[in-house]
Structure 1
Amino acid sequence: LEEMNYQESGNYTRVTEFVLLGLSTHPASQSALFWSLMFLYMVTLAGNGMIIFLVGVSSPLHTPMYFFLSNLSLLDLLFSTSAVPLIMVHSLQDFPTISYRSCFAQLTIRAFLVLAECFLLAIMAYDRFVAISAPLRYNLVMSSRVCAVLVLAAWMAALLLTVTPVLLLPISFCGHNTVNHFSCEVQAIFKLLCSNTTSLEVMMMVCAVTSMPVPLSFILISYLCILKAVLRIHPAEARLKAFSTCGSHLVVVTIYFGTLIYIYVRPQTKKVEDGDKIVSIFYAAVTPMLNPLIYALRNKDVKAALRRVTCGAKS
């Protein structure tokens, strides 16, 4: 396999395609993976699409919190679409291939969406902090203009951190083009590099520190301030109600950053384990599906908006 799909150019081998192993060594599991991903993807489309639609058509949901939630659903929808359909197609093939350009396009798009969601979750934590600590000034501080600027800043920062390493640091391969994964994951591709990876590792470390620890630290600080503000609220019922508005966001942050830390922060080895593939599937297919369920099932406003739309359709 490693001698396929590359061309000689001067003194080095130029890779033109990658071979994705996926479940090629476990053919009996390929069909089960396909139908599982099909179910998860359809639920992801329905759940996130419902959130975006309800926020758009329901005037009671035209608030900063639901504006950010609709952006989160859009990111989840795009992230799942950038990976899951391709994995489904490859799961039915033995040793599927993907072109060099398609592979890096997928890798870049997924990295951009991951970074954008990290920053957006930090913005949502700030939104909850303002809502609880300064409720009378909430509409002034989190105006429509401010919300739009914050979301645009999150998307632009993610784009900058994604494109910079790709443009500044050229990479080359040594002819090995077998990727032991379902898709073009950065860890699996990184193991095939033959060029000097020191500069790339430094750049990736800078981007990783900016994209994960900084937003996560901001979220933790925001929730410490929220906790301090909630403890000053009386009576206890009002205190519980104030903090319950943060519950869904806390669950999403825990799942999202917990998976990110497991995938990218732990020490990397030269061999891709099957456990890494399973976590990657969970990250690509399950996490985007859970977010709308977590918010919709716990949120009275979303359920009320869904009832209004449903009743209106029946009428």
Structure 2
Amino acid sequence: MSRQGNATVFSEFVLVGFAETQQFRLVIFVVLLCLYIVTLMTNMMIILIVKSDPVLSTPMYFFLMHLACLEACYMSIIIPKLLEILLMKTTIISFQGCAIQMFLFLFFGVAECFFLAAMAFDRYVAICHPLRYTIIMSRNVCWTMVTGSYTCGTIVGLVHTTVTFRMPFCGMTVNHFFCEIQPLLELVCGNTFLNEVQVIGVALMAIMLPFLLIILSYIGIIFTITKMPTLERRYKAFSTCSSHLIVVVLFYGTASSMYLKPKSSYSPPVDKVLSFSYTVITPLLNPVIYSLRNKEIQGAMRTLWKKMALQKL
């Protein structure tokens, strides 16, 4: 590394991780490794089930399959490095590696925001316009939504990563378990007000815009459900949305509390817990929520197990 005034040109960073819980790091390592394996297996299982069962070849499960794939990748850019930190107490990550990790994290995170909005719109069309559902939610429309989600993720990831890593850093110790924006801004030399405004501004677009689309979709859904003549039909309509609502609350609640605030309110212990919840807990719970609360997924899973058991005989 070389000095340039008060700033330093670093070739690597040090990730501190959960320094507050070092005495429990081996226990946390084992638990986290088990959670990671379970999450990968359950997400991969959802992908396999949706791909193998023709009954699930609908837009809702098309989006669910892509969401499962996205979350498996989302976790895989964070958890392996965190496991290394837990074993080594602290760990080194190169400047380029840190930038790549930030980009991929933002790419998958923002894409998930728009995926959840697309899934909400799918439920809106299914409940509010059932006769036109197959026309509105055509294969081309579904792929356009998927492509658009990844495009938004790419744009946000490139903007944040490029702006952040072109700034001069006055430190190399990142008080976090991965290269997230807020802890990196703590290391930037000088006034970071404009960068904070940029982070909040982009977050408003990437987090609040799809969240607004979700709210509008559910306003239409609730309005339609209240007009249904029987309680049974109302319950059936709402049950198709309940899993998605739980996932939305979990993901948006933690992500917005992390990004829609100024740097001055950044608290490493609290924000590490928030980051842990939407990088580890939410991807773990999502497939569990969808599989346990969805009878079609459960039925497809039983069918798949039977096929696999017959093949072994």
TM-score bucket (shorter structure):
over 0.9
Matched, 1:287 2:282: yes
**Partner of residue 132 from structure 1, selected from 123, 127, 132:** 127
Q: What secondary structure is seen at the aligned counterpart in 1 of 2:89?
A: coil
1:247 aligned partner: 242
Matched-pair contact (CA < 8 Å) for 2:49–2:301: yes
Aligned-residue CA RMSD (Å) = 1.8
Distance 1:27 1:160 in 2: 37
User: Does the C-alpha gap of structure 1 residues 268 and 174 become closer, same or farther in structure 2, counting only changes over 3 Å?
Assistant: closer
**Partner of residue 119 from structure 1, selected from 114, 124, 127:** 114
Point out the structure with the larger helix share: 2
Distance 2:268 2:22 in 1: 17
Distance 2:266 2:164 in 1: 24
**Partner of residue 3 from structure 2, selected from 4, 8, 17:** 8
2:95 aligned partner: 100
Distance 1:247 1:140 in 2: 24
Q: What secondary structure is seen at the aligned counterpart in 2 of 1:98?
A: strand
Structure 1 letter corresponding to 2:29? F
1:73 aligned partner: 68
Q: How many residues align?
A: 310
Deviation at 1:235, TM superposition (A): 1.4
Q: What secondary structure is seen at the aligned counterpart in 2 of 1:19?
A: strand
Matched, 1:234 2:192: no
Structure 2 letter corresponding to 1:30? R
Normalization by structure 2: what TM-score? Answer: 0.93
Distance 1:286 1:49 in 2: 17
Deviation at 1:196, TM superposition (A): 4.7
1:64 aligned partner: 59
Deviation at 1:195, TM superposition (A): 5.0
User: Does the C-alpha gap of structure 1 residues 89 and 140 become closer, same or farther in structure 2, counting only changes over 3 Å?
Assistant: same
Distance 1:26 1:126 in 2: 42
Matched-pair contact (CA < 8 Å) for 1:119–1:154: yes
**Partner of residue 154 from structure 2, selected from 146, 156, 159:** 159
Distance 1:250 1:271 in 2: 28
Distance 1:169 1:24 in 2: 25
Distance 1:142 1:119 in 2: 16
Bigger RCO of structures 1 and 2 (CA < 8 A, at least 6 apart): 1
Structure 1: tracts of 5 or more residues without a match: 1-5
**Partner of residue 207 from structure 1, selected from 189, 202, 213:** 202
Matched, 1:146 2:141: yes
Matched-pair contact (CA < 8 Å) for 1:113–1:158: yes
Report 1:76-87 matches (<5 A): 76-87=71-82
Structure 2 letter corresponding to 1:239? R
Distance 2:11 2:267 in 1: 22
1:29 aligned partner: 24
Deviates most, 24-33 or 239-248: 24-33
Q: What secondary structure is seen at the aligned counterpart in 2 of 1:8?
A: strand
Deviation at 1:266, TM superposition (A): 3.8
